[in-house]
Amino acid sequence: MNPGVLTIYRWELRKLRAQKRTYLGLGAAALVPIIFVVALAARNGQPEDVAFGRYLHDTGLAVPLVLLLFGSIWMFPLITALVAGDIVASEDRNDTLKGIFTRSVERHQIFAGKALATFTYAIAAIAITGAVALVAGILVSGFNSIVSLSGTRVSATEGLGLVGLSLLFYLVPILAIASIGLLFSTVFRNSAAAIVGTLMFSLLVQLIGILPGLGGLQPYLLSTQFNAWQGFLRSPVDWEPVLRALWVCALYAAPALIAAVLVFLRRDVAGD
């Protein structure tokens, strides 16, 4: 009975649990909402020009939503890249590929295990930010109803469901970023280059979005998909950005993953 992807996945998680960077990423995911809420409680002002900003003092439900908006610029891409960009490159750094490639698992299984572990970490990061932001927000601003983007008032419980749904859907572009991080990690064989590369990619895509004359590309940029969850906070639900995010993110993630797998399968594991 040969081991499979599940065995590798479990061990990749175990390796992540033994590394500092994992806690750095997840720690940031927990700390940022706390700092945000503390700052909010200390001062009366609030960001007016951002969606849900004006409700921050009315309901804790607004806190995770505002963080999702701010976090898409670089915080969540960075937290994701921290592990995605490292998970293959760290094997190069420690020269450990030769060890795991000469056991009884095929290279594609190893890659699949690594990709699943990366996605698990990214999901954990978003879940932590969401949970901490909700709890801290509710403690400070209360568990109250929220006004949707269409101007209708939504009850607290229904609002909570919508926040959960938004967090869940936020994973779609996050996993696309993770896929790109995996590609860079595989190709660059260097953690720092892969992490910076992933972040640069994310920022460059946003730059394209604000260049004059390129506005037509806006709906198809990866950065735009980070706002797709707002479709859930309209009444009725605006499915158009939601559905588009699904296929646009797939168009970013699939080629990146396929390219990464091909490189991983074919690469020579030679010394330096």
Partner 1 sequence: MVTAEATPIEVRGLVKRYGDLVAVDQVDLDVEPGDVFGYLGPNGAGKTTSLRMMLGLIRPSAGSVRLFGRDPQVSVKALEGVAGFVEAPSFYPYLSGRENLRLFAALDGGGAKGRIEESLGIVGLSERAKDRVGGYSHGMRQRLGIAAALLREPRLLLLDEPATGLDPGGMRDMRDLIRELSASGMTVLLSSHLLAEVEELCNRVAIVRSGRVAYQGSLAALRAEAGEGYLLRSPDEARARAVLAAQPGIRDVTVTEEGTRFAAADEAAVGALSLALAEAGAPILELTRRHATLEDLFFSLTEGDGVGPAAERQNGGDPAPAPVEAA
Kindly provide the residue ranges of all beta strands, DSSP E only, lying in the chain, ordered along the sequence. 146-147, 153-154
- Choosing from 48, 49, 104, 216, the residue that interacts with partner 1 (CB under 8 A) is 104
> Does 271 contact partner 1 by CB under 8 A?
yes
Applying CB under 8 A, which of residues 42, 49, 94, 236 lies at the interface with partner 1? 94
What is the Cβ-side half-sphere exposure of residue 1, based on CA atoms within 13 angstroms? 1
With a CB cutoff of 8 Å and minimum separation 6, the contacts of 253 are 175, 176, 179, 180
For 264, which DSSP code?
Answer: H
Q: Which of 70, 74, 101, 143 binds partner 1 (CB under 8 A)?
A: 101
Task: Kindly identify the residues of this chain, within the stretch 22-81, that bind partner 1 according to CB under 8 A.
Answer: none
The window from 67-75, 103-111, 206-214, 254-262 that contacts partner 1 (CB under 8 A) reads 103-111
HSE of 177, CA atoms in CB hemisphere, 13 A: 37
Alpha helices by DSSP H, listed for 43-155, are: 62-71, 75-84, 89-93, 97-101, 107-141
Of these, 51, 69, 73, 100, which contacts partner 1 (CB under 8 A)? 100
Q: How far is the CB of 209 from partner 1 (least distance, A)?
A: 39
* Sign of the CA dihedral with 204 first, then 209, 212, and 216 last: positive
- By rule CB under 8 A, what count of residues binds partner 1? 29
Q: Which is nearer to partner 1, 44 or 94 (CB)?
A: 94
Applying CB under 8 A, does 11 fall inside the site for partner 1? yes
What's the number of CA atoms in the CB half-sphere (13 Å) around residue 18? 7
Q: How far is the CB of 60 from partner 1 (least distance, A)?
A: 38
Binding site for partner 1 (CB under 8 A): 1-3, 7-8, 10-11, 14-15, 18-19, 94-106, 266, 268-271
